[in-house]
Structure formats: C-alpha cells, structure tokens
Amino acid sequence: MSFPWANEYKPANALTQWLDEKLPLPRFVYNAVGAGYPVPRNLNYAWNFGVLAGFCLMLQIVTGVILAMHYAANADVAFNSVEHIMRDVNWGWMLRYAHANGASAFFVVVYAHIFRGFFYGSYKAPREMIWLLGVVIFLLMMATAFMGYVLPWGQMSFWGAKVITGLFGAIPLVGEPIQIWLLGGYAPDNAALNRFFSLHFLLPFVIAAVVILHIWALHIPGSSNPTGVEVKTESDTVPFHPYYTAKDGFGLGVFLLGYCTMLFFFPNALGHPDNYIPANAMSTPAHIVPEWYFWPFYAILRAFTSDFFIIPAKLMGVLAMFSAILVWFFLPWLDRSPVRSGHFRPVFKKFYLALVIDVLVLGYCGGAPAAEPYVMISQIASIYYFAHFLIILPIVSAIERPEALPFSITEAVLGKDESATLAPAAAH
C-alpha cells in the first residue's frame, strides 16, 4: 500500500501498545495522515484543497447537527424556527451563518480541488478510482446542498424545490408521477420538507463514508504531484507529518481568514434576500436563481430553448445539465495523454485556461436573468464545455507533443546536483 521506506508506527507507551494489539486505530491514522504516509516533496498549495474540503465537511456536520437541535421541519413553523435560531438561540445567528457560508466555502475549495485535478491530470491511471469517487462525492454534495437550501422554507427555498423537482417532470411518461412521488404531493409541502430534512441530515455522513473510500483509494498509488512524475526513490518524498500537516495548517489559516471575513462581515452576500420571505405557493419571485455554486449547471439547463428532434427542449436541458457532470466520469479515458501534468503540455494548457474561462462565463450567465444576450452566450459556452471534454481533450492528447519531463521529483526540485540529492537522505 505504501512505499517500502515509509516510517513504521511504534507505540509510544504501554497504553498505545495495548490499543495497537486490540484495535490499531492510532496506527491507521499514523499511516493515513501521519508520519507513516510518504508524500511527494514538491506539492504546491493546489494540493491544499483536499484537506480544506475535509475541514469544510466537518464544519458543516458540526454546525448542521447543532442547527438540527433548534430547527423544526414542519411547513407551518420551519421559517419561524429559522428566525428563532437567528434571534433567540444563543449564538444561533453565528451557527446558522457559519453553516450557510460553510456550504459556499465547501464548494469553493471543492471546485479548486477539481480544477487542480483537471490541470495536473490527477484522474489518470493509476488514480482513476480516486477521481470517480470524487465525482460521486461532488454529486452527493450537490444533492445535500440543494435539500439544505429548501429547509428555511423561504420563497427561494420553495421555488427552488419546485423548479428542481420539476426537472424530473421533464422525463417522458413517468416524469410527473416521479415528481409527485419525490415531493409526496402535488407541490412542495410538509411531506417534501420533512424528507428533505431527513436526507439532508443523512447525506453528509454518506459523503464522509465516500471520503474515506476516496482517501483509501488515494493511499494505494500515493499522492500525485505537480510534475506528474511518479515517486521513484525515498528522496522524492517527505513524511506527511510534520511536513504537510504544517503546510496544510498554514493553508487552513489563510482559508479561515477568508471564511471568517464572509461569516462576520458579509454573511448574506452570497444568499438571496427573497429567502427571507416565507414560502408562498401562490406567488413566484420575479427572478429565481439557485445558489452561486449551481450557476454553471443552471446556465446549461436553460441553454436549451428549442426542441431537438423528438426530445422537448426542457428534457434536453435536464439531460445536458446532468451530462455536464457525468462526463467527468469518463475523463480518465477521454484524455489519453500519458503525461499527467499540464505544465508539460503546451497545447492542453491553453485549452485548460479556455475551460476555466468557459465555466466562469457559464456561471455568470446562470446567475443572470433568462434573457438575451445571456441565453445565446450560455448556448455557445455550453457547446464549448462539452466540446472540451468530448472533442478537444481526445484530439489534443493524440496530437500534442509534450515537453521533456524531469527524470524524477528530486531532480525537478534540486536539479541534477548529486550531492544535493543525497543530502536530505543523509540528514534523515
């Protein structure tokens, strides 16, 4: 599982010795995120986001479990119970803002984590399974975030639930029964609110379980690195602890500065004022938008305005939106280039930048009203999005001539100076 030179766990005292024989949990942690896990020595700060995402998951679970102690999942009182949390519960305002902004922070770091993977080819063999599990985590996150947004039972909650479950109504024949089944009624009401609450509570623990599989799968080949060259010798690695616990700790501090700035100074900046109006089934807000992290996908959904052969526009939009994420499952087999890191792929590098811009454009259009010119821009950007994965990546990986790779991670870091190469090993 790990490299032969990995440090071995040695129980420090009689108690840990006893524990190690009965249930080697400290050994497990030591080998997973401690000194027993050798990591490439050249990781940059793009490798910080996995730890940050794990931190956000913990943050959301802790604040969420607390909020659930004060929240009432009943359509008659849900809105008021959230106001009760905001006004009456000790520190309730902070915990709720921490949870709401925590969701945004979670998506920020997860998007950074995903785009790190896109650039450095982290999805390539032998790390496909890590990538696939990551996409599963992302899908679970989207479902969890959506259902969580429904719980305050404001106008955006209600109409968001209606529009998103309405997507299932686009499925031919069985769509409407499925929508009614999902909602437990003809429109979002008590039944829907209760089941969303139940699932919103459950799914983070499912995510935590898949995260464990994600890390398990990661520890089989070990972490990737910015050169994309696999670890060859001991001098290519350093132990995770203290080297990357320290580096990740610093990154966590920077992250917390940004997060706390949002939490304490702009707690509603990413929310929508309409959600402070209680849900009203008889009146639709003028401009329904999802939370910012869904905007690129919402833009793809709305980009389909006319029927495509026998498939109605609405169904096309739904299929395209889900395909936009499902296409990631095929990424390891669409990008055939044997070179992992984008640093050494001059053509890929340019298209990667184009994809980043394309997703930002989609995001902007998804948050804008459904009017021209945004619809047309979304259409072009959606076409480019799919073209990137289905056409550009396979072609680029076939015709591109990558730059020369360094011989090893050590060489990439220290150059060809033999004495420098040997120095850390000797010190060790």
Task: Choose which of 171, 252, 370, 377 interacts with other proteins (CB under 8 A).
Answer: 370
Per-residue buried b or exposed e for 123-141, using 16+ beta carbons within 10 Å of the residue's own CB: bbeebbbbbbbbbbbbbbb
Note if 248 is an active site residue: yes
Note if 247 is an active site residue: yes
Residues near 260 by Cβ (< 8 Å), separated by ≥ 6?
none
For helices 295-302 and 313-326, what crossing angle results, to 10°? Answer: 140
Note if 84 is an active site residue: no
> Does residue 371 bind other proteins (CB under 8 A)?
yes
> Does residue 184 bind other proteins (CB under 8 A)?
yes
Q: Cβ 180 to other proteins, closest distance in Å?
A: 6
> Does residue 180 bind other proteins (CB under 8 A)?
yes
Please identify, among the stretches 143-151, 175-183, 211-219, 346-354, the one whose residues bind other proteins according to the rule CB under 8 A. 175-183
**C-alpha–C-alpha distance, residues 97 and 93, integer Å:** 6
Nearer to other proteins, 26 or 312 (CB): 312
> Does residue 187 bind other proteins (CB under 8 A)?
yes
Residues near 82 by Cβ (< 8 Å), separated by ≥ 6?
71, 96, 151, 152, 153
Question: Is 99 within any annotated ligand binding site?
Answer: yes
Instruction: Catalytic residue, from 223, 235, 337, 408: name it.
Output: 223
What are the E-state strand segments in 151-274? 237-239
Q: What are phi and psi of 158, to 5 degrees?
A: -65, -50
> Which amino acid is located at 76 in the chain?
D
Task: Choose which of 78, 135, 141, 182 interacts with other proteins (CB under 8 A).
Answer: 182
Note if 223 is an active site residue: yes
Q: Cβ 288 to other proteins, closest distance in Å?
A: 6
> Does residue 278 bind other proteins (CB under 8 A)?
no
Q: What are phi and psi of 311, to 5 degrees?
A: -90, 120
Please identify, among the stretches 7-15, 147-155, 165-173, 417-425, the one whose residues bind other proteins according to the rule CB under 8 A. 165-173
Instruction: Catalytic residue, from 248, 335, 358, 411: name it.
Output: 248
Instruction: Catalytic residue, from 104, 122, 224, 291: name it.
Output: 291
Q: Which of 323, 295, 335 is nearest to 119 (CA)?
A: 335
Task: Choose which of 189, 230, 274, 400 interacts with other proteins (CB under 8 A).
Answer: 189
> Does residue 195 bind other proteins (CB under 8 A)?
yes
Q: Cβ 154 to other proteins, closest distance in Å?
A: 16
Nearer to other proteins, 25 or 281 (CB): 281
Question: Which of helix, strand or coil describes residue 48?
Answer: helix
Q: Cβ 289 to other proteins, closest distance in Å?
A: 10
Site for other proteins, residues 279 to 338, rule: CB under 8 A: 281-284, 286-288, 302, 305, 307, 312-314
Q: Cβ 187 to other proteins, closest distance in Å?
A: 4
Question: Is 287 within any annotated ligand binding site?
Answer: no
Which long-range contacts (C-beta less than 8 Å, at least 24 apart) are formed by 76-79? 76/190, 78/151, 78/152, 78/153, 78/193, 79/152, 79/153, 79/154, 79/278, 79/279
Structure tokens belonging to residue 167 = 């997507």
Q: Mark 132-161 with x for binding to other proteins (rule: CB under 8 A) and - for no binding.
A: ---------------------------x--
Helices assigned H by DSSP within 220-312 = 245-265, 295-302
Contact 276, 268 (CB under 8 A): no
Instruction: Catalytic residue, from 124, 162, 241, 247: name it.
Output: 247
Note if 418 is an active site residue: no
Please identify, among the stretches 6-14, 17-25, 87-95, 181-189, the one whose residues bind other proteins according to the rule CB under 8 A. 181-189
For the chain, report the end-to-end CA distance as a whole number of angstroms.
22
Secondary structure (DSSP) of 343-410: GG-HHHHHHHHHHHHHHHHHHHHHHS-S-TTHHHHHHHHHHHHHHIIIIIHHHHHHH--PPPPPS-HH
Q: Within 10 Å of residue 104's Cβ, how many Cβ atoms?
A: 18
Q: Cβ 205 to other proteins, closest distance in Å?
A: 19
| # of chain residues touching other proteins (CB under 8 A) | 31
Contact 78, 70 (CB under 8 A): no
Question: Is 214 within any annotated ligand binding site?
Answer: yes
Which residues are annotated binding-site positions for heme b? 99, 113, 200, 214
Name the residues that contact other proteins, by CB under 8 A: 159, 162-163, 166-167, 169, 180-182, 184-187, 189, 191, 195, 281-284, 286-288, 302, 305, 307, 312-314, 370-371
Which residues are annotated binding-site positions? 99, 113, 200, 214, 219
The set of catalytic residues is 219, 223, 247-248, 291
Which residues are annotated binding-site positions for a ubiquinone? 219
